[in-house]
Amino acid sequence: MANRLKGKVAIVTGAGSGIGRAAAILFAKEGAKVVVADYDEKGGRETAAMISRAKGKAIFVKADVSSSSDAKKLVAAAVKNFGKLNILYNNAGIVRWGNAVECTEEDWNRVIDINMKGAWLCSKYAIPEMTKAGGGSIINTASIAGCVAFAKIAAYCASKGGLIELTKSMALDFAQNKIRVNAICPGVIKTGMTKGILNDKKTLQGMLKATVIGRLGEPEDIAYAALYLASDESSFVTGTTIVADGGWTVQ
């Protein structure tokens, strides 16, 4: 067990798979007590069990981040079980396909509710607890789709662009509470979210070509960026984004 997060208590949302799972496991390995949050009970319980098997500390809390009562319950569970809250990693997210004409109102609302409102709700309830703990770090998984446009995912692009701006707004408002707020903008990462499109050979080739480093990302590539932002090593870093995209947006 290493100790970059020794003594800290962290919530990771969307920790039942992909990037969230990798981050929860890494945070625990670095000494944090981790609240694994997801609305997928099976995936969430699996992540918590993986951490426990590796002798880390974790609990699973079933929560839909787009629900105010679930967000409140999630923060309360962290404090009840581990005594305080230092780190919130807002990572839960979904994608729905369609340009602005094709996108249904239902899909638009769901994407905005989870990707953007969910991060706000969890932060809303986490910030007072972090303030009590003497400060903390909030990390938001945005996307390079919040910096540059991607075809046919209008709601997703809007949600991630909004999340980047929310990151800056919260960084400004809560610096006085010693709370830092940063975002990560991943490029294409091999997770459940991209599995479907990466099965298509032509799409896969296109994505590999656009990723100048010559490979797609692994969940751990993003988890390590989150670890840096969660730890005190980034104590002078707030209101910014780390782009971890293998060079997708350099040209």
Ligand X SMILES: NC(=O)c1ccc[n+]([C@@H]2O[C@H](COP(=O)([O-])OP(=O)(O)OC[C@H]3O[C@@H](n4cnc5c(N)ncnc54)[C@H](O)[C@@H]3O)[C@@H](O)[C@H]2O)c1
Is residue 213 within 8 A of residue 240, CB to CB? The reply is no
234 lies in the binding site for ligand X (CB under 6 A): no
Please pick, from the candidates 14, 136, 161, 246, the single residue that binds ligand X as defined by CB under 6 A.
14
Residue 40 or 220 with smaller CB distance to ligand X: 40
Which of 28, 71, 93, 138 is close enough to bind ligand X by CB under 6 A? 93
User: Which among 219, 246, 181 has a CA at the least distance from the CA of 27?
Assistant: 219
Residues 190-229 that bind ligand X (CB under 6 A): 191-194
156 assigned to active site: yes
Contacts of 80 (CB under 8 A, 6+ apart): none
Contact 62, 44 (CB under 8 A): yes
Residue 204 Cα distances to 100, 108, 143, 195, 200, angstroms = 24, 26, 18, 10, 6
Judged by CB, which is closer to ligand X: 177, or 211?
211
Q: Please count the other Cβ atoms lying within 10 Å of the Cβ belonging to residue 199.
A: 9
Closest contact distance (angstroms) between CB of 25 and ligand X is 13
Q: What is the pattern of x (binds ligand X, CB under 6 A) and - over residues 114-133? A: x---x---------------
Distance CA 149, CA 153 (A): 9
Work out whether 20 is an interface residue with ligand X (CB under 6 A). yes
* Active-site hit among 89, 156, 224, 228: 156
Between 13 and 137, name the residue whose CB sits nearer to ligand X: 13
Catalytic residues, by residue number, are 156
